[in-house]
Structure 1
Amino acid sequence: MMPIKYKIDVLEALKAAGYSTYRLRKDKLIGEATIQRIRSGEPVSWENISTLCALLNCQPGDLLEYSPDVTNKE
């Protein structure tokens, strides 16, 4: 499991800001593969993080948090 995870439901926040998944795809703001990655909690590129921050008027730290993996300590 990735130690970086989303702090908020990104797609729900986008929807509240007026960006449905249809609009994101239609206006070519975020691609379908990226939407699926966000939906499943997987990481996306810094370029996509930048786009999300611009759309939501926030900082990367508002979207992401580091959660150490305690099960895989050396």
Structure 2
Amino acid sequence: MIIFKIDILKALKENGYNTTYLRKNKILSESTIQKIRNKDTSLTLKNLDVICSMLEMQPGDVVEFIKTE
């Protein structure tokens, strides 16, 4: 199972990117923002790339794989 390691929206806000900015500038769609809010990790690689770029992080800093049975 893949989970978020960080609170993405909080981290983006701390870097000056609130959800209104993300939507208005078409950086992330409303559906993507809702997925993040709901801890739904079924993001596209393109969206993960955008998030990593904005936060200056690697994907492994944002998501983590946890082995489940």
Q: Deviations over 1:24-74 (max 9, x none)?
A: 0001100000000011111211000000011101100000001111xxx3x
Of 25, 29, 38, 2:23 maps to 25
Structure 2 residue runs of 5 or longer lacking an equivalent are: none
Q: What does residue 36 of structure 2 align with?
A: 38
Give the equivalent residue in structure 2 for 1:54.
53
Identify the residue that residue 9 of structure 1 maps to in structure 2.
Answer: 7
State the superposition RMSD in angstroms. 0.6
TM-score by length of 1: 0.89
Q: TM-score, normalised by structure 2?
A: 0.95
| Identity among equivalent pairs (%) | 43
Larger radius of gyration: 1
| Count of aligned positions | 68
Structure 1: tracts of 5 or more residues without a match: none
Q: Runs of 4+ in structure 1 displaced over 4 angstroms?
A: none
